[in-house]
Amino acid sequence: MTAKYERVAEAIREQIRAGKLAVGDKLPSTSALRTQHRVSYGSIRGAMLVLKAEGLVDARSQRRSATTAPRTCATLLSPSLGEVCRRGRSQTT
């Protein structure tokens, strides 16, 4: 059986994959997420912690979480390499 916070995190991941949530979009409030997924505050907090660790959301206290670009080794090393990775091409010079 999957933990409730994992189900919530997967639902948000799927919204990001499907393009329903784009980079910079604000997530619904904690209260709205609790109602939507019928879970406790702790389950929403757990999901946000998982998604933050994965680099998918920027969760800050007192503010709604916002989606971020998925972090990869290339984007951490160089923004230009990250752009190349997003386009799916190799950089040639």
How far apart are alpha carbons 69 and 93 in whole angstroms?
26
Q: Give the per-residue pLDDT at 25.
A: 87
Q: In a 10 Å sphere around its CB, with 0-12 CB exposed, 13-18 middle and 19+ buried, how is residue 5 labelled? A: buried
Read off the CATH number of the domain in which 24 is found. Answer: 1.10.10.10
- The domain in which residue 81 lies consists of 4-87
Query: Is pLDDT above 90 for 93?
Result: no
Examine residue 79 and state whether it is found in any structural domain, yes or no.
yes
Q: Give the per-residue pLDDT at 19.
A: 87
Examine residue 42 and state whether it is found in any structural domain, yes or no.
yes
Examine residue 93 and state whether it is found in any structural domain, yes or no.
no
**How many structural domains comprise the chain?**
1
Q: Give the per-residue pLDDT at 45.
A: 93
This prediction has a pTM of 0.69
Give per-residue pLDDT as tens, 32-81. Answer: 999 999 999 999 999 999 998 888 888 775 566 777 766 544 444 444 54
Examine residue 64 and state whether it is found in any structural domain, yes or no.
yes
